[in-house]
Amino acid sequence: MTDGTKLDGINNANLARKAAAAEGLIDKQGNIDLDALREGYPELFGAEGRKPEGGAGSGVGSEIHVGRTMNDYIRLWLGYGIRSTISGR
C-alpha cells in the first residue's frame, strides 16, 4: 500500500497503514489522518525502543531487594555457610 502521508516518528509504519485502512482514515489522495490515528492508536507514536522501568520480578521499581534465598538456607543447614550468587551481596 502506498500513500502520500510521510510516516516519520511512527514506530511501525506498516502497522500504522493497516490500522488507518481498517479505520477508514485514508482519504482519496492516499493521505492518512494522523490526528485520528494518534487518538485511536497512541502506542504507534511513542518513543522507539522505550522500555518500562524495572525488570522481571522487581515490581514497579528498578532496584531488586532480595533476602536470603532457599539455596542460602539449604547451604546453611548443611553447614556450608551462606554463599549467595546474587551480585552486590
Beta bridge partner(s), residue 26: 32
**Rounded Cα gap, residues 89 and 11, in angstroms:** 40
What's the whole-model pTM score? 0.47
Q: DSSP character for 62?
A: S
Q: At 32, give phi and psi (nearest 5°).
A: -95, 135
Query: Grid coordinates in use for 37?
Result: 490515528
**pLDDT value at position 2?**
46
The share of the chain scoring above pLDDT 70, in percent, equals 61
Does pLDDT of 80 surpass 60? yes
**pLDDT value at position 43?**
85
**Rounded Cα gap, residues 2 and 13, in angstroms:** 11
Does pLDDT of 58 surpass 60? no
- Over residues 4-21, the mean pLDDT reads 81
**pLDDT value at position 1?**
42
